């Protein structure tokens, strides 16, 4: 008889795929008790979500197979129960919330109905379910709760949707809540709010919380204990303090070393000349002002980071500079010429000097083109850059420059990992020897260790080739490591700009201060202080 | 919503006018009606009189002008063959076709959704494989062949149902059964595919994590999301039936609008052809509107 409320013992799960048997988790054991928060930390492919899917009976068998192990909950081994007995536990005693609340909420039913369904699915009467839904929506802090119940998921913001998801999971006061990357897709300030809400609710109900995450900051902020996973195995367990300050396993140490925001901050070169000067750039969509007049300079061979939360207008700014959309007003002087007034022919010439790298390389690389074709396509369009007989050699050169190999040229995007794909996207941008590369959240989708490598690559390209970067990001630690100067945006306005050290160590605007205070530090000690500062700011 | 309906109506009117122009002139290229309506040995004078009577001697553009003028007053002209208003002839036939289409499509929709949903939920099982095989056969079998084989088997050999015509409930069974097969096969495949996608979606995972039972997961959570592409195909298939199931109506001697159109073309009964086209076009316009309304009803994201 186990001593813990929920205990996973020696669990191994396999998946039978076309490529053979994949061991998703191998001999994994962990436990969690009432009132406790356990974090499962790992990068993509580490198997960190698999054991909780097994707890919730969400693994499709086949192709999945629970090969061995036990899952003890409240004195019973879940794996010996019938389907119906397990269904009756889901939502009632063990509940789960997910990463992307928009796709995890049913788009065609009202949120009130969906929250109430948790209650009715376990045989409670409808009126009771509706009352409980209202109470919960009010508790998780959705404005105007009565009206909110009648709305659909797409009518809420990302943070509100995650709050609604939490309300839905907690409807029957479960003993355990499993949260699978609950804040990954959210803005930093919203992330802090959602984590605080989870802690409050945990204190109220005494539930055990299993927090699955890739983010050391989330661990430092919320966890009592941590399980570090790599390649389907647990490599280390301990308190956040032990893990951060006295990691034993090399993988944990590597993960901590890769966490951004620890390096020296850069000092911008004061003598550099601006290559891009934007003055009062504006963009309106009907009555909505996406950009309300942005003015800034971007110097040659420097990194200008544009930070801000979703909807702040940072991507709009990039699209206007590239003329992917027409500005409603203002000017953007590129080496003295206004980009916004150029004819299509002139713009065509300038395009090779300004290149772009997007967030998701899986979508921005054509899956039916080989790496060679993807990179050399730029020379098909801009014919005077390189003669055709040199293409092959130059592709190899570029691949080596971004840390790939010559033999990769004949392969297709799906044969690469996410980090390698982003390197291909960078090689493609480099093919035209640009003066400026605009990176729109270019490292946001990558694992921490890969992120650090890609940032290092970009830094090297900046220093060796003298390329300037406009680096759009919501992740402040990455910006801290990479930027020369920072531009902080909020609701279409630039609220503050300055050298990176000034912004991070002496932020003058209230919004910048809140943004920095909301960021999570991987060091539990630093994070505790930051949390106190944050609570003071919000109080 | 009202603006959308208005816009649709205007664009439909424009395409309807284009269609009228096209059919009006093309049908007149098929030849002279007097060659069909008068005896082979009729004199040139008789032919001349016939053409004069029906306004066929005027230049084609003038005829078209007259036709449009009458149309504006709601006069679709008379049927040459039946010497009655063309619209009456068409509406009589259309009622038959409409009944046939409504009954068939109702049966098809219900059957395809139930079988398709269950097949998707039990993907890979024997039920799924049999359903997929039947739908493939249904979607690809030629209906004229099925119609003839069905008549031979059920009417001629077994004598269970009449071979053709209308009159009793028994007359309806074979035409409906034959018309059922192809749309059932097609829609079943779309339902199954669409349900498979929807069953794999994250919100189904959420529902399972909430402890929702299988039946509401299929018929409440998934089906409504999976219906959007299905409705499009249902619309296409229903439109095909409303146009008159020409082959099936002809084989079963069913007095619907498809058979009427074929007969009118063969007999150069121009006014009936045009009236039939306008009536079916209106019906299809209304049905597309219904489909759009159904979209909005099913998916709140389309409403805003």
If you write DSSP's letter for every residue of B110-129 in order, what string do you get? Answer: HHHHHHHHHHHHTTTSHHHH
Q: Which residue in B205, B216, B301 is closest to A104 by CB distance?
A: B205
Of the two residues B79 and A38, the one the predictor is more confident about is A38
Distance CA A85, CA A56 (A): 12
Reference B96, options B236, B249, B278; nearest CA is B249
Distance CA B265, CA B252 (A): 19
Report chain B residues whose CB lies below 8 A from the CB of A104. 202-203, 205-206
Q: What mean pLDDT do residues A229-257 have?
A: 92
Report chain B residues whose CB lies below 8 A from the CB of A181. none
CB A252 within 8 A of CB A447: no
Distance CA A228, CA A47 (A): 10
Q: Could you report the per-residue pLDDT of A475-485, keeping only the tens digit for each?
A: 888 899 899 99
Report chain A residues whose CB lies below 8 A from the CB of B203. 103-107
pLDDT at residue B159, rounded to an integer: 77
CB A306 within 8 A of CB A487: yes
Asked whether the beta carbons of residue A106 and residue B211 sit closer than 8 angstroms, the reply is no
**Residue A410 DSSP SS3:** helix
**Chain B residue with minimum CA distance to A110:** B300
**Residue A377 DSSP SS3:** helix
Which of A108-122, A252-266, A329-343, B112-126 is least confident? Answer: A252-266
Residues 6+ apart with CB under 8 A from A162: A97, A101, A182, A183, A186, A190, A194
Q: Could you report the per-residue pLDDT of A176-220, keeping only the tens digit for each?
A: 999 998 888 788 888 888 898 999 999 999 999 999 998 888 999
Q: Does B202 touch chain A if contact means CB atoms closer than 8 Å?
A: yes
CB A196 within 8 A of CB A227: no
Q: Does B298 touch chain A if contact means CB atoms closer than 8 Å?
A: yes
Q: Could you report the per-residue pLDDT of A152-173, keeping only the tens digit for each?
A: 999 988 888 999 999 999 999 9
Report chain A residues whose CB lies below 8 A from the CB of B224. 108-109
**Chain B residue with minimum CA distance to A52:** B209
Reference A394, options A376, A411, A380, A382; nearest CA is A376
CB A378 within 8 A of CB A428: yes
CA distance B223 to chain A (A): 11
Q: Does B215 touch chain A if contact means CB atoms closer than 8 Å?
A: no
Distance CA A229, CA A447 (A): 14
CA distance B208 to chain A (A): 7
Q: Does B197 touch chain A if contact means CB atoms closer than 8 Å?
A: no
Asked whether the beta carbons of residue B299 and residue A108 sit closer than 8 angstroms, the reply is yes
CA distance A20 to chain B (A): 20
Asked whether the beta carbons of residue A106 and residue B301 sit closer than 8 angstroms, the reply is no
Query: What fold is seen in the domain B86-303?
Result: MetI-like fold (1.10.3720)
Pair of tokens at residue B63: 């005829």
Cβ-Cβ contacts under 8 Å between A and B: the total is 75
CB B244 within 8 A of CB B259: yes
pLDDT at residue B46, rounded to an integer: 82
CA distance B9 to chain A (A): 27
Q: Does B206 touch chain A if contact means CB atoms closer than 8 Å?
A: yes
Reference B66, options B122, B38, B24, B13; nearest CA is B24
pLDDT at residue B149, rounded to an integer: 86
Reference A527, options A6, A39, A56; nearest CA is A39
Residues 6+ apart with CB under 8 A from B28: B60, B63, B270
Query: What fold is seen in the domain A273-353+434-508?
Result: Rossmann fold (3.40.50)
**Which sequence spans correspond to the domains of chain A?**
36-49+91-258, 273-353+434-508
Q: Could you report the per-residue pLDDT of A449-463, keeping only the tens digit for each?
A: 888 888 988 999 899
pLDDT at B215 over 80: yes
pLDDT at residue A73, rounded to an integer: 92
Pair of tokens at residue A265: 């901050």
pLDDT at residue A526, rounded to an integer: 87
Which of A324-333, A359-368, B38-47 is least confident? Answer: B38-47
Interface test with B, best of A50, A100, A104 (most B CBs within 10 A): A104
CB crowding B173-184: b at 16 or more within 10 Å, else e: ebbbbbbbbbbb
Q: Does B126 touch chain A if contact means CB atoms closer than 8 Å?
A: no
CB B61 within 8 A of CB B101: no
Following CA atoms B14, B19, B24, B28 in sequence, which dihedral angle do they give, to the nearest 10 degrees? 150
DSSP A149-208: HTS-GGGS-HHHHHHHHHHHHTTT--SEEEEESTTTTS-HHHHHHHHHHHHHHHHHH--E
pLDDT at residue A94, rounded to an integer: 94
**Which sequence spans correspond to the domains of chain B?**
2-72, 86-303
Class for the domain spanning A36-49+91-258: alpha beta
Q: What mean pLDDT do residues A38-48 have?
A: 89
CB A9 within 8 A of CB A69: yes
Q: Does B216 touch chain A if contact means CB atoms closer than 8 Å?
A: yes
Interface test with B, best of A16, A60, A108, A174 (most B CBs within 10 A): A108
Report chain A residues whose CB lies below 8 A from the CB of B216. 121
Following CA atoms A357, A359, A365, A370 in sequence, which dihedral angle do they give, to the nearest 10 degrees? 80
pLDDT at residue B161, rounded to an integer: 77
Q: Which residue in B201, B210, B216 is closest to A91 by CB distance?
A: B210
Q: Which residue in B210, B224, B299 is closest to A118 by CB distance?
A: B210
- The pair phi, psi for residue B133, each rounded to 5°, is -65, -50
Asked whether the beta carbons of residue B206 and residue A106 sit closer than 8 angstroms, the reply is yes
Distance CA A470, CA A481 (A): 14
CA distance A365 to chain B (A): 24
Asked whether the beta carbons of residue A96 and residue B209 sit closer than 8 angstroms, the reply is yes
CA distance B137 to chain A (A): 29
DSSP A322-370: TTSS--SEEEEEETTEEGGG--HHHHHHHHTTEEEE-S-HHHHS-TTS-
CA distance A525 to chain B (A): 35
* Unique residue bearing structure tokens 């998707």: B120
Reference A374, options A411, A323, A415; nearest CA is A411
Distance CA B137, CA A117 (A): 40
Residue A519: Cβ-neighbour burial (10 angstroms; 0-12, 13-18, 19+) = buried
Q: Which residue in A100, A107, A117 is closest to B210 by CB distance?
A: A117
DSSP A212-267: EES-HHHHHHH-SEEEEEETTEEEEEE-HHHHHHS--SHHHHHHHHH-SS-SPPP-
Report the mean per-residue pLDDT for chain B: 86
Asked whether the beta carbons of residue A95 and residue B301 sit closer than 8 angstroms, the reply is no
Of the two residues B52 and A215, the one the predictor is more confident about is A215
Per this entry, what is the length of chain A? 539
A36-49+91-258 shares its CATH topology with A273-353+434-508:
yes
Q: Could you report the per-residue pLDDT of B146-200, keeping only the tens digit for each?
A: 888 888 888 778 878 777 777 777 778 888 888 888 899 999 999 999 999 999 8
pLDDT at residue B244, rounded to an integer: 64
Distance CA A145, CA A95 (A): 22
Query: Model confidence at A56, in pLDDT bands (50, 70, 90)?
Result: very high
pLDDT at residue A1, rounded to an integer: 52
Distance CA A245, CA A493 (A): 40
The packing angle between helices B126-140 and B86-121, to 10°, is: 150
**What number is the ipTM of this complex?**
0.81
pLDDT at A436 over 90: yes
Report chain A residues whose CB lies below 8 A from the CB of B206. 96, 98, 104-106, 165, 168
Q: Does B211 touch chain A if contact means CB atoms closer than 8 Å?
A: yes
Q: Could you report the per-residue pLDDT of B9-47, keeping only the tens digit for each?
A: 888 888 888 988 898 888 888 777 777 777 778 788 888
pLDDT at B54 over 80: no
Query: Model confidence at A2, in pLDDT bands (50, 70, 90)?
Result: low
Distance CA A498, CA A493 (A): 15
Query: Model confidence at A539, in pLDDT bands (50, 70, 90)?
Result: low
Alpha-carbon distances of B3 from A364, B6, B8, B9, B290, rounded to whole Å: 37, 5, 8, 10, 15
CB crowding A220-240: b at 16 or more within 10 Å, else e: bbbbbbbbbbbebbbbbbbeb
Q: Which residue in B210, B211, B301 is closest to A154 by CB distance?
A: B301
Of the two residues B201 and A311, the one the predictor is more confident about is B201
Upstream peptide bond of A62 is cis (omega within 30 degrees of 0): yes
For chain A, the residues whose C-beta falls within 8 A of a C-beta of chain B are: 56-58, 87-92, 95-96, 98, 100, 103-109, 117-118, 121-122, 152, 154-155, 165, 168-169
CA distance A105 to chain B (A): 5
Residues 6+ apart with CB under 8 A from A64: A13, A14, A15, A16, A24
Report chain B residues whose CB lies below 8 A from the CB of A122. 211
pLDDT at residue B8, rounded to an integer: 80
């Amino acid at each position: 008889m186990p001593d813990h409320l929920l205990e996973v013992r020696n669990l191994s799960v396999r998946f039978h795929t076309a490529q053979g048997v994949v061991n998703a988790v191998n001999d994994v054991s962990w436990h969690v008790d009432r009132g406790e928060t356990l974090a499962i930390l790992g990068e993509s492919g580490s198997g960190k979500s698999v054991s909780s899917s097994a707890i919730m009976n969400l693994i499709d068998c086949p192709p999945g197979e629970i090969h061995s192990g036990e899952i003890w909950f409240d004195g019973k081994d879940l794996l010996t129960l019938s389907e119906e007995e397990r269904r009756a536990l889901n939502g009632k005693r063990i509940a789960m919330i997910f990463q992307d609340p928009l796709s995890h909420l049913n788009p065609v039913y009202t949120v009130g109905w969906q929250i109430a369904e948790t209650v009715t699915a376990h045989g409670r009467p409808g009126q009771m379910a509706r009352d409980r839904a209202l109470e919960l929506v009010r508790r998780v802090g959705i404005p105007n709760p009565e009206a909110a119940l009648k709305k659909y998921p797409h009518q809420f913001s990302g943070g509100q949707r995650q709050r609604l998801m939490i309300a839905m999971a907690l409807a029957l006061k479960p003993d355990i809540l499993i949260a699978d990357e609950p804040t990954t897709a959210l803005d930093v300030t919203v992330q802090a709010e959602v984590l605080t809400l989870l802690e409050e609710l945990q204190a109220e109900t005494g539930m055990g919380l299993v927090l699955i995450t890739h983010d050391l900051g989330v661990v430092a902020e919320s966890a009592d204990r941590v399980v570090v996973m790599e390649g389907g195995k647990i490599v280390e367990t301990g308190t956040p303090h032990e893990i951060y300050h006295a990691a034993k396993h090399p993988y944990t140490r590597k993960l901590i070393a890769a966490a951004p925001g620890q390096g020296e901050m850069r000092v911008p070169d004061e003598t550099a000349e601006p290559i891009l000067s934007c003055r009062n750039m504006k963009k309106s969509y009907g009555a909505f002002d996406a950009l309300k007049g942005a003015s800034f300079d971007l110097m040659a061979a420097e990194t200008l980071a544009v930070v801000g939360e979703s909807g702040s207008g940072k991507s709009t700014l990039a699209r206007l500079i590239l003329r992917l959309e027409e500005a409603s007003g203002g000017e953007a002087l590129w080496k003295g010429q206004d980009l916004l007034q150029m004819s299509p022919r002139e713009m065509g010439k300038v395009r090779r000097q300004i290149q772009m790298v997007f967030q998701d390389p899986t979508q921005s690389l054509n899956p039916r083109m080989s790496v060679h074709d993807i990179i050399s396509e730029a020379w098909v369009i801009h014919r005077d850059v390189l003669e055709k007989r040199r293409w092959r050699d130059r592709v190899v050169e570029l691949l080596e420059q971004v840390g790939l190999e010559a033999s990769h040229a004949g392969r297709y995007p799906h044969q690469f990992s996410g980090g390698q794909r982003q390197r291909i996207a960078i090689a493609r941008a480099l093919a035209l020897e640009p003066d400026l590369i605009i990176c729109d959240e270019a490292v946001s989708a990558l694992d921490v260790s890969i992120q650090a490598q890609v940032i290092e690559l970009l830094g090297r390209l900046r220093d060796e080739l003298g390329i300037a970067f406009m680096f759009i990001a919501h992740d402040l630690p990455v910006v801290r490591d990479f930027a020369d100067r920072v531009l902080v945006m909020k609701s279409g306005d630039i609220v503050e700009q300055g050298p990176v050290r000034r912004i991070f160590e002496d932020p003058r605007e209230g919004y910048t201060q809140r943004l920095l205070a909301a960021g999570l530090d991987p060091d539990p000690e630093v994070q505790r202080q930051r949390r106190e500062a944050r609570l003071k700011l919000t109080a | 919503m009202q603006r959308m309906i208005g816009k649709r109506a205007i664009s439909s009117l424009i395409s309807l006018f284009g269609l009228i122009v096209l059919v009006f002139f093309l049908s007149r290229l098929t030849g002279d009606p007097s060659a069909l309506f008068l005896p082979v040995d009729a004199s040139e004078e008789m032919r001349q009189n016939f053409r004069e009577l029906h306004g066929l001697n005027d230049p084609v553009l003038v005829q078209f002008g007259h036709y449009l003028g009458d149309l504006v007053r709601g006069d679709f002209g008379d049927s040459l063959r039946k010497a009655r208003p063309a619209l009456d002839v068409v509406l009589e036939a259309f009622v038959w076709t409409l009944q046939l289409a409504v009954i068939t499509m109702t049966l098809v929709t219900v059957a395809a959704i139930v079988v398709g949903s269950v097949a998707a939920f039990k993907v890979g099982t024997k039920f799924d494989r049999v359903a997929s095989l039947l739908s493939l056969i249904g979607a690809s079998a030629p209906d004229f062949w099925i119609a003839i084989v069905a008549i031979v088997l059920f009417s001629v050999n077994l004598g269970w149902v009449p071979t053709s015509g209308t009159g009793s409930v028994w007359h309806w069974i074979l035409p409906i059964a034959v018309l059922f097969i192809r749309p059932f096969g097609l829609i079943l495949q779309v339902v199954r595919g669409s349900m498979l996608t929807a069953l794999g979606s994250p919100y189904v995972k959420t529902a399972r994590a909430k402890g929702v039972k299988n039946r509401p997961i299929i018929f409440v959570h998934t089906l409504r999301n999976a219906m959007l592409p299905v409705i499009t195909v249902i619309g296409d298939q229903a439109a095909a039936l409303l146009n008159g199931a020409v082959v099936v109506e002809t084989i079963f001697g069913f007095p619907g609008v498809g058979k009427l159109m074929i007969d009118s073309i063969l007999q150069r009964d121009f006014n009936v052809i045009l009236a039939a086209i306008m009536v079916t076009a209106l019906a299809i316009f209304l049905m597309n509107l219904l489909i759009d309304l159904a979209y909005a009803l099913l998916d709140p994201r389309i409403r805003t």
